[in-house]
Structure 1
Amino acid sequence: MSALFEVRGLNKNFGGLTVTNNVSLSMTTGDRVALIGPNGAGKTTFVNLVTGHLKPTSGDIRLAGQDITGANATSRVRMGLVRSFQVTRLFYDMTPEEHVALAVLQREKRSGRVMGHYAGMPEVMDEVREILELLGLVELSHLKVREIAYGQQRLLEIALAMALRPKVLLLDEPAAGVPQSETARIEHALDKLPSDLAVLMIEHDMDLVFRFAKRVIVLAAGTIIFDGSPKAVTQDARVREAYLGSYANASSAA
């Protein structure tokens, strides 16, 4: 199967410091990939490079066979490369329904008609409800964001990303800041994402990583040191030394 998303020889230097070092990876339709690594490994820089928030020093990025290395962030979203953020970027006095409706209308370049007017657009309302149902947020659709739990706010972030109709979805620590008691909601929502959507998730919750990912990529000091199955990653000596440590040992003993 040909690659849907491909990064080849990606490098980023800040002065004399190399933060991204010859990174290459590819994803096909329906992939579930986790990108992990220690703090300072370059994961956020990598995401900023592929989403157009930083310009690479060298290398190229392709989406659906098209070179998008020179495209700006907005153009990449319109082409189907969409990310969620590590920290929520929501409007606390707006409802989940209003958030998703705005995202749908922005995608269709009709955002000037959002507040109050979207309710008279049956096709928009149908899509909003479908997305909120997918993420388990329908019952909360008319509450203010400030009134819902943080884990549900993280789900709303994913709902906004889905409203942009991604081909490739980059999830930047979807469980960050979420109490352990609410992590199951995130995991359940990830399980319900469309099977043809390629998902790359950055996450420090290793239990979530190993339940979600079919493939794990490990980044250390800006360099990929492993790309393979979740089972194999716990047995890799370089990964144990650079990142997994006690988790890998505990998994082996279990």
Structure 2
Amino acid sequence: MRAALAAVVALTVAGVSGCGDDTAAPAPGGGTDRVTGTVTVFAAASLTESFTRLGERFEAAHPGTTVTVNFAGSSALANQINQGAPADVFAAAAPKNMATVTDAGNGDGSPTTFARNRLVIAVPKGNPQRIAALADLARPGVKVAVCAEQVPCGAAARKALDAAQVDLTPVTLEQDVRGALAKLRLGEVDAALVYRTDARAAAGDVDGVEFPESAGAVNDYPIVVLADAPNPAGARAFVALVLSAQGRTVLTDAGFQAP
């Protein structure tokens, strides 16, 4: 009797223990990841307004989380990630800069293009120099700010200028689109080649002049969860928000084109 009772007790304990394990360890991919803590996003400077808004929405949807975004030129961000900077998500302004990260094995899965952007000529409100085309930027005395060619806005500018056969000597080469726009807003230049989204965000100070060559220099924006993300659940949830209908609305409101 004593041996039988011991066997029953042993089986009961084993059964309880097994049930506890099933509850505590859901199957991978079962959608039970809980989003907590800080989500660190490295994002192209041209995403400042959009990702700031999306970060606020993410925090509202996940109480107790914090979204920290490092905005800079995509090439600089890619180098920081490859040098070991801790981040959960990378959103670049061009596939080339994303490839710098994924080719080094630092992306978790394949990047997804979530938006597109094109250039405009940003000028002071009222367009005092009467700039109407890329060729006007090469007029004597017109000072222009352009992004450096290693960053996406600079590569797009070079492609558009070549298509228009305009030989332009800018007075400054900036490391991101925000730097080029800042030169204009400070009155240091007469015009700047920036993204449509940046000109729209600064509409109180600048006008955006469209030009046809920009259609051949559209930049795709890819996003990816990073392989060594400190907060992988948060990273996946943030990327899901960017790719959602809500994310699409925020981006198109800012002037981005759908992919």
Tell whether the structures are fold-level matches, with TM greater than 0.5.
Answer: no
Which protein is bigger by CA-based radius of gyration?
2
Normalising by the residue count of structure 2, what TM-score does the alignment of the two structures yield? 0.28
- TM-score w.r.t. the length of structure 1 is 0.28
